[in-house]
Amino acid sequence: MTTRLLINGRARDVDVEPHRTLLEVLRDTLGIFDAKEGCNEGVCGACTVLLDGRPVSSCLVLAVATRGKPITTVRGLERDGDLHPLQDAFLRHGAVQCGFCTPGMLLTAYAFVEAHPHPDRAAIREALEGNLCRCTGYTKIVDAVEDYARNRCG
Ligand code: FES
Ligand code: FES
């Protein structure tokens, strides 16, 4: 069936089989590789996108169920072609190594800080529990999110 997906502010009409996940449609049908394919069973967080502003594992969401709802991938964070301040904080703090977890990590952190503008480190760690990183040991990621939240609010 033809389904209209709203991806990073752009409408895309795609022919979608009802059993296809959003992750499959993004990557295999639309060639949007922002969301990474890790475990494919809702554990690693690599496939995280924002659906209506909330983080979801796109490997667990049927694409047809997202019809008409805004979907944000990591590319949707950029501002006028520049990195989002959260992305900038990740770079400054060395919170990116192989980068596989980074799109999902950024989107989860972004949504969390939107909802919790003054988080402490424990809350940041808890918010990122569903996003696994094999490389960084998490400390630099928490540093980056904390720095971003602090500077965002002035
Ligand atoms: S690929 Fe979706 S949670 Fe791991
Ligand atoms: S930077 Fe490699 S998995 Fe997180």
Say how far apart CA 79 and CA 9 lie, in whole Å: 13
Closest among 17, 42, 46 to 34, alpha carbons compared: 46
**Closest residue (by CA) to atom 4 of ligand 2?**
133
Say how far apart CA 51 and CA 133 lie, in whole Å: 22
Question: In the chain, what are the domain boundaries?
Answer: 2-75, 85-153
Question: pLDDT (tens digit, 0 to 9) for every residue of the chain, 154 residues total?
Answer: 899 999 999 999 999 999 999 999 999 999 999 999 999 999 999 999 999 999 999 999 999 999 999 999 999 999 889 999 999 999 999 999 999 999 999 999 999 999 999 999 999 999 999 999 999 999 999 999 999 999 986 5
The residue assigned the tokens 């995280």 is 48
Residue 138 has φ and ψ, to the nearest 5°, of 75, -25
- Could you give the residue ranges of the DSSP H alpha helices within the chain? 22-24, 85-92, 102-115, 121-127, 139-153
Do residues 18 and 1 touch, judged by C-beta distance below 8 A? Answer: yes
- CATH 1.10.150.120 holds for 85-153: yes
Nearest ligand to the CA atom of 41: 1
- CATH code linked to domain 2-75: 3.10.20.30
Dist. CA 47 → ligand 1 center (Å): 5
